[in-house]
Amino acid sequence: MQLFAGLGNPGEKYRRNRHNIGFMAADAIHYRHRFSPWRKRFQAQTAEGEIAGEKILLVKPETYMNDSGIAVSAAQNFFKVALGDIVVLYDEIDLPPAKLRVKTGGGNAGHNGLRSITAHCGNDYQRVRIGVGHPGDKALVARHVLSDFAKSEQPWVEAMCEAISDAAQLLVARQQVEFQTRIHLTMEKSNTIPTGAPRP
């Protein structure tokens, strides 16, 4: 079994925030691959399904972003999921909007959700970094990630989440380069990349 964790904050107040794009991507995977209904356990919303013949547990922690590791580690320990079989989807301010990168391990770059998961689980899990852009001033970062995507951003957000769900089998197979390339090609064709943003 592999564990896919989308990060975000629970509740309607945060639902459209940039910080919640991990939740949005998890919802797209849930819908596209016809997972079981969401149910609450491990202090999270969880659902089970299969992608490319592999059993997948989808997890959306309800512990709030800063304590994401509590829920992820509880699910990991219950199902005895290897650290390398954990995939975390989250917002990345150091990438331009509509850009994506995948890696295993590395630093947490000030992301409290990653810091919590690393503290509870270890560091060498797979990370799907979904760019939401930087406000340009460190003092404005919290406001930036906890604000909603603008209406003009919705097309690329929806296209990105759909692309991730459509290419999820490559993540399951740990084909990170191929997954990343597929996403970028899909986003190029979607014509939703924000004006002025670097092309993938």
What is the C-alpha separation between 95 and 149, in angstroms, rounded? Answer: 15
Alpha-carbon torsion angle 100, 104, 110, 111, nearest 10: 70
Using only the alpha carbons of the chain, give its radius of gyration: 15
pLDDT, mean over the chain: 93
pLDDT at 184: 95
CA proximity to 157, closest of 3, 15, 4, 13: 15
What is the C-alpha separation between 185 and 16, in angstroms, rounded? Answer: 25
pLDDT at 91: 95
Give every residue of the chain whose pLDDT is below 70, as ranges. 195-200
Which positions are catalytic?
A: 19
pLDDT at 107: 82
Task: Give the DSSP per-residue string, 3-61.
Answer: EEEE----SGGGTTBGGGHHHHHHHHHHHHTTPPPPEEETTEEEEEEEETTEEEEEEEE
